[in-house]
Amino acid sequence: MSDAFQRLLDATIDHLERLREQGARQVPVAPETLAALRQAPVRPNTKKHAPTPSGLPVAERVAARPALVGGEASPLNPTSVSPSLPSGTPDGPGGRLPLDPNRVPAPGQTTAALRALQARVQSCTKCPHLADSRRNVVFGVGNPEARLMFVGEAPGADEDLQGEPFVGRAGQLLTRIIEAMGLERSQVYIGNVLKCRPDTPGQAAGNRKPTPTEMITCLPYLEEQIGIIRPEVLVALGLTAVEGLLGKQAAATPMGRMRGRWLEFRGIPLMVTYHPAYLLRNQHLGEKRKVWEDMLLVMERLGLPISEKQRGFFLKAMGQ
């Protein structure tokens, strides 16, 4: 692919990103434009993790953009960016995860691929202020072959200290939720959008929400993590995690409207629910039941057995 075409492609992707942020889901494209795009040579994908100016490989950036109406195979369509993916398989177009096939680990290589990614993240200084203030990079924890992955926003003080996500009070509650689902914490995977604790200069304690820039900077690591683990279901814990995954506009929807229904991240079913820290602040049984109902949907999606007792959690105490 020529440099000129690469620049045109990057500019087009940036334009589509802006449209998406403005709420566009479809972009009309004239047939002759599509035809011209199809004539552009596709660069053989020989380079792993080839970065674009935004830090994301083209296939992933395109996958996040508004759909092109009538967009058959073209350089702007993942179907042509990943031509070697057979359709109709979980990895194929319209399948689970439209990622660069070079980034999908071979069977049995998941742990090694995660370790290699972790080694890169460990020395990351893309956010110099966070690299300076962190005690540990909090990469993620759990089963590299997990069918279920939870995603939070960022490490807090406890997590920064221990280098593991969700180990504080909210983390302990998350563990109880996982166990109530009939699973062990070690069976799922837990990660955050941000791998370093947001700094709080001048404050001895407390946490702050990650900035959009911090989340955008760190998101490629999470995307790569998800691409390696390839969970069947993702659960986003709280609206900040939603913002990190799906953008600011998606996170503008109130949690009450977003939770309890299936969204998608890179072709993977995504359930949004309240962050466990919210449940610690709000002990109302009705709120706990909402999170539990979201988890029941996740269990159903994964085909996990659900007992009558599990179905009824909190209802009796709520007088229902």
Residues 7-36 touching ligand SF4, rule: CB under 6 A, are none
Give whichever of 154 and 263 is closer to ligand SF4, judged by the CB atom: 154
Cβ 142 to ligand SF4, closest distance in Å?
Answer: 18
b/e map of 253-286 (b: 16 or more CB within 10 Å)? eebeebbbeebebbbbbbbbbbbbbbbeeeeebe
- State how far the Cα of 141 lies from the Cα of 154, in Å rounded to an integer: 13
Radius of gyration of the chain (CA): 20
Cβ 31 to ligand SF4, closest distance in Å?
Answer: 41
Give whichever of 131 and 255 is closer to ligand SF4, judged by the CB atom: 131
Cβ 72 to ligand SF4, closest distance in Å?
Answer: 36
Question: Is 191 in a helix, a strand, or coil?
Answer: strand
Residue choice 131, 157, 161, 255 for contact with ligand SF4 (CB under 6 A): 131
Cβ 303 to ligand SF4, closest distance in Å?
Answer: 34
Binding of residue 193 to ligand SF4 (CB under 6 A): no
Residues 233/271, Cβ–Cβ less than 8 Å: yes
Here the tokens at position 172 are: 């302990």
How far does CA 223 lie from the centroid of its chain? 6
Give whichever of 85 and 241 is closer to ligand SF4, judged by the CB atom: 241
Strand ordering across the sheet containing 262-265: 141-142, 189-192, 148-152, 233-237, 268-273, 262-265
Binding of residue 62 to ligand SF4 (CB under 6 A): no
Region for 122 from its dihedrals, namely left if φ exceeds 0, alpha if ψ lies in -120 to 50, beta otherwise = alpha
Give whichever of 91 and 214 is closer to ligand SF4, judged by the CB atom: 214
Cβ 109 to ligand SF4, closest distance in Å?
Answer: 23
What are the φ and ψ backbone dihedral angles of 125, each rounded to 5 degrees?
Answer: -130, 30
Residue choice 127, 167, 277, 279 for contact with ligand SF4 (CB under 6 A): 127
Cβ 251 to ligand SF4, closest distance in Å?
Answer: 18
Residues 220/55, Cβ–Cβ less than 8 Å: yes
The site string for ligand SF4 over 86-125 (x = CB under 6 A, - otherwise) reads -----------------------------------x--xx
Cβ 210 to ligand SF4, closest distance in Å?
Answer: 8
Give whichever of 137 and 237 is closer to ligand SF4, judged by the CB atom: 137
Number of residues that bind ligand SF4 (CB under 6 A): 15
Residues 153/198, Cβ–Cβ less than 8 Å: no
Cβ 147 to ligand SF4, closest distance in Å?
Answer: 26
Q: What is the DSSP letter of 63?
A: H
Burial degree of 232 (CB within 10 A; 0-12, 13-18, 19+) = middle
Q: Can you state the percent helix, strand and coil of the chain, rounding each to 5?
A: 45, 10, 45
Binding of residue 56 to ligand SF4 (CB under 6 A): no
The site string for ligand SF4 over 198-237 (x = CB under 6 A, - otherwise) reads ----------------x--xx--x----------------
Give whichever of 240 and 273 is closer to ligand SF4, judged by the CB atom: 240
Give whichever of 27 and 130 is closer to ligand SF4, judged by the CB atom: 130
**Angstrom distances, CA of residue 235 to CA of 17, 33, 71, 218:** 24, 38, 30, 18
Binding residues for ligand SF4, per CB under 6 A? 121, 124-127, 130-131, 137, 194-196, 214, 217-218, 221
